[in-house]
Amino acid sequence: MKKETFIKDIKERDRVKDVFLVARKDMGISKAGKPYLNLRFMDSSGAIDARAWDNAEAIAKGFETGDIVKARGYALSYRGVIQLNIAAIEKIPDGESSPADFLPSSRLKPEDMIKDLDRVVDSVTDPSVKALLESIFRDPDIRRRFQLAPAAKAMHHAFIGGLIEHVLSICSVVDFVAQHYRKDLEINRDILLAGAILHDIGKIYELSYSSSFDYTDEGKLIGHITMGVELVNKKAAEIPDFPDHIRMAINHLILSHHRLLEYGSPKRPKMAEAILLAFLDDMDAKMAALRVMTEDCEEGANWTPYQRMFERPIYTGLLGEAEDKETQRPEPQEQTKEEKAKPIPDLSALGDLGLFKGEG
């Protein structure tokens, strides 16, 4: 079935009758006590929330999350965001639609990005770090997965090729950061770079992305941080006489890149390189999310709707231009709530990193 209407082109008051991927499906209860269907549709251009208020339970029986469906309804604006009010949904039989129509993809070509990654790996000067990275990315399965995987299910770089795009973005500033802080600290550029490349490597197994973005069973039970450490340990064990302190240092960067225990990090950063990586990772994720927010912002608006990631709306206009406008959209009400410059450090004296311990 040929897809004609893409989510990015849907405007308020549009009548919609087209096919979409169901990225989320759950039932809710309205204030009047009636059940309603809460949905999120996806196609290659983006995602949109949808609600079915009438006959919700009957409609819900005809499809599941991950199905391709034909939906009929109309578009409306709710709190500044376009969503769909659905009247009918019909599941499309397998094989009658193209998956390429439904999964968003990086604007960059995967074959170009993997070549860029090869060049980054080739720039590593420490022979052991380089050998580890080459061993990982010469593995055909890992290489294929790394080109395709999203960096997240929803929050940032949530598209095919998002993981490698995210990694390359961080790698592009590593040399600047390492050189800048060399004035005061001896930053090991190769360890920082290896951490940048491998910090999310476990996501190639944590996330599924064949028909929709979701977590695998292994992803839910183990998680990408642990799977990343397991992969590094496995590949390092295959390299004769691989230095244990290098393996430990790289694993520490993987284990601590979420920065805080409450953010899912088994360890807090305890090396300068780990601290830098945690902030670079967070910065790149937030800037990528901002790009999507501003692209989705209503034309002429100076503010995004409230953003859960930032717990505030974000200003998108230039102050000088905003002052010249005759009418300006008011700020939405906030929702508040209560070079390698030193030898690679030998961390063996630290002992067990305590992956499964509560100590931070």
189 and 235 co-located in one domain: yes
Same domain, 184 and 83: no
- Residue 87 one-letter amino acid: A
Closest CA to 196 of 176, 180, 213: 176
Q: Are strands 15-29 and 35-43 parallel, antiparallel or unpaired?
A: antiparallel
Distance CA 45, CA 103 (A): 8
Same domain, 158 and 83: no
Give domain status of residue 278, yes or no: yes
Give the structural domain span for 180: 110-286+340-350
Note whether residue 359 is domain-resident: no
Whether 302 is in a domain gets the answer: no
Closest CA to 150 of 193, 208, 96: 208
Flag whether pLDDT at 188 surpasses 50: yes
Clarify whether residues 140 and 191 are in a common domain. yes
The Cα–Cα gap between 285 and 191 comes to 21
Q: For residue range 70-82, what is the model confidence (pLDDT) as tens digits? A: 999 999 998 888 9
226 with 138, same domain: the answer is yes
Query: What average pLDDT is seen over the chain?
Result: 86
For residues 14 and 126, membership in a common domain is answered with: no
Taking residues 105-131, report their average pLDDT. Answer: 95
Asked whether residue 54 falls in the same domain as residue 125, the answer is: no
Q: Are 152 and 197 members of one domain?
A: yes
At 294 the pLDDT is 77
| Residue 16 vs residue 45, higher pLDDT | 16
- pLDDT one-digit tens code per residue, 225-251: 999 999 999 999 999 999 999 999 999
Q: Is residue 329 assigned to a domain?
A: no
Whole-structure pTM value: 0.71
Q: How many domains does the chain have?
A: 2
For residue 209, name the pLDDT band (cuts at 50, 70, 90).
confident
Assess whether 73 and 134 both reside in one domain: no
Identify the bridge partners of residue 69 per DSSP, sorted by sequence position.
Answer: 20, 91
